[in-house]
Amino acid sequence: MHAMFQSCTRPVVLALALLAPLSCLAADEPAAAGDAGQGVAFKFTSGLYQLRGGGLPNAGALDLNLRVSGSFGNAWVGQFRSPSQSITQTRLGWDRQFDFGAVRLTPSLEVATGGYVGGSAYLEAGRTWVAGVGLSRTNLQNFINLNFDPGDAYTLAGGYRWADSRSLILSLIRDNRLNPDQQNVHLVYRTPISGGQRLTLDGLYKTGLVAGVGVREVGFSATYDWPKFFVRAAWDPKVNFTLQDMFRLSVGTRF
């Protein structure tokens, strides 16, 4: 059995895929919902992921995700397929940020074939110096964890946002249900570049038990955005706290 599928009792196989905007606990910053009267905006992402190592066969998969944003927040539909492992899962999700001035609340919900249901809530305070806390929960059914952080977890975050849209955010996501030893620490830096472009760098430090052995691993992702297109590459060792390492390549467009 491989790695990205998660259940209440064991990890199951996964492979190549796309980054889905599963929840506000993901390292990716939630997309801002369109204001009422501004219509809707779409984002399509395709991802290829490759699993290797751990004494297991290499594996690959494809994931496609379409997100729509508007006054209702963000909604998405996606499908993951790994033909070599005979795995397919379709998912639907939603999130929205509610702005109360100095405080913002972002709930999310996702359902997937196979009976999976998951949700999260993230509360953030501050405009320049910011601090946040969040909680996520699942119904412990098998699911393809495209969030890559523990699914049943709390998060603590803090950082600084400059007036020119640069930001530096440190977050800790720690399992608080089945595997409380497992945690991911992200340090995410975003900076705008001339011409409507943006660079996002995400450093990952992962600690916890994998097959009964404690691990300390370092990973990263880098995303480059143009006004209409983006590309992301990521290296995730011991992905989802399994024996295998994963390389991910995602490309997408906004329209």
Give the tens place of pLDDT for each residue, 9-47. Answer: 333 333 323 333 333 333 344 444 444 446 899 999 999
CA angle 48, 1, 78 (to 5 degrees): 35
DSSP code of 4? S
Phi, psi of 202, rounded to the nearest 5 degrees: -125, 110
CA contacts within 13 A on the Cβ side of 154: 7
Cα→Cα distances 93→33, 41, 49, 62, 146, Å: 14, 16, 21, 19, 12
Q: Pull the structure tokens for residue 221.
A: 């992702």
* CATH number at 5-254: 2.40.160
pTM metric for this prediction: 0.86
Phi and psi at 101, nearest 5°, equal: 85, -110
In the block, tokens 């809707």 appear at: 40
Residue type at 234 in one-letter notation: A
Q: Give per-residue pLDDT as tens, 80-119.
A: 998 877 889 999 999 999 999 999 999 999 999 999 999 9
Summarised one tens digit per residue, pLDDT across range 168-216 is: 999 999 999 999 999 999 999 999 999 999 999 999 999 999 999 999 9
Q: Which amino acid is at 28?
A: D
Query: Beta-carbon neighbour count of residue 58 at 10 Å?
Result: 13
The 10 Å Cβ neighbour count of residue 235 is 16
CA 56 to centroid of chain Cα atoms: 25
List the structure tokens of 241: 């706290």
* DSSP state string for 144-198: E--S-S-SSEEEEEEEEE-TTS-EEEEEEEEE-SS-TT-EEEEEEEEEEETTTEE
* H or E element at residue 77: strand 73-82
CA dihedral 103, 137, 160, 238 (to 10 degrees): -170
pLDDT digits (tens, 9 = 90+) for 122-143: 999 999 999 999 999 999 998 9
pLDDT digits (tens, 9 = 90+) for 213-238: 999 999 999 999 999 999 999 999 99
